[in-house]
Amino acid sequence: MNITTVVDPSTDVLVTTVINKTVAAITHNWQQYRPAHIVLTGGRTGVQIAQTLDTQIFRHISADKSGDVFTLHIWFSDERFTELSDPERTDTKLIAAFTKSPKAKNLNINFHRVSSPDSLTLEEAADEYAHHLDDSLSEHQFDAVLLSMGEDGHIASLFPGLESASHSFKFAVAVDNSPKPPAERVSISADRLANSSAIYIFALGESKREALVNLMEHHQGPVALLQEAGRFGQMMIATDLKI
């Protein structure tokens, strides 16, 4: 496993670095006539990440003269189990950030959303998302997983102390006791997130220092679960903190 740390005081530099690598992975698949599958996350930098990705993809698509049609699947690392119209849902905010690339005629972009309580129970929504992942990817790797570390070290909706929900043979799990409201969420499992060519984790701001130290020096916290799963090609921690 290749685990590296990139430190820079500028969030813009860190986001651009990660997106450049992500777009390279996406376009590599397209050159091989394969669809690309990536995972995006919410958090304070989530919209900036999505906007930067949208711009970079649009530039690449606009410059392509092959006439080929490309496919991009975007999955969400976790989601509030609320109505699809909820403006606080991760997918609502991130999909809205894609203002350019969805208009490209030679791009099929698929946003995979978690269902809402008006149609399914929490467990059923998690099982459905897991089924969609299995149907689209089976055991194939994500091309890139982009995550953001919370102040307590959580990634997606995999919180410290909820490891039983994190390590699962299921591709997606129901979280019914999230310490961060709302309590009910659907999250891609740690084992499925770890099955990726590359994982990029943002740890930004002084409030993330303790969690980052716990990870880097003591191998503790939800990110350590990804390391234990050990199925990824590389992991990069993008941070503005010097540890």
Q: Hey, what are 230's tokens?
A: 């050990």
Estimate to the nearest angstrom the gap between the alpha carbon of 129 and the chain centroid.
14
**What are the domain boundaries of the chain?**
27-61+68-208
What would the 3-class secondary structure string for the chain be?
CEEEEEECCCHHHHHHHHHHHHHHHHHHHHHCCCCEEEEECCCCCHHHHHHHHHHHHHHHHHHCCCCCCEEEEEEECEEECCCCCCCCCHHHHHHHHCCCHHHCCCEEEEEECCCCCCCCCHHHHHHHHHHHHHHHHCCCCECEEEEECCCCCCECCECCCCHHHHCCCCCEEEECCCCCCCCCEEEECHHHHHCECEEEEEECCHHHHHHHHHHHHHCCCHHHHHHHHCCCCEEEEEECCCC
The residue to which tokens 């310490």 are assigned: 179
Gap between the Cα atoms of 184 and 82, Å rounded: 8
* Pairing mode, strands 144-148 and 36-40: parallel
- Per-residue pLDDT tens, the chain, 243 aa: give them: 568 999 999 999 999 999 999 999 999 999 999 999 999 999 889 999 999 999 999 999 999 989 999 999 999 999 999 999 999 999 999 999 999 999 999 999 999 999 999 999 999 999 999 999 999 999 999 999 999 999 999 999 998 876 555 566 899 999 999 998 999 999 999 999 999 999 999 999 999 999 999 988 888 888 988 888 878 899 999 999 998
Q: Spelled out in words, what is the top-level CATH class assigned to the domain 27-61+68-208? A: alpha beta
Residue 178 tokens, joined: 């999230």
Q: Are 166 and 153 in contact (CB under 8 A)?
A: no
- Cα distances (angstroms) measured from residue 231 to each of 109, 190, 193, 198: 26, 11, 9, 10
Q: Is the dihedral of CA 197, 28, 94, 171 positive or negative?
A: negative
Q: With CA atoms as reference, report the closest residue to 116 among 84, 93, 86.
A: 84
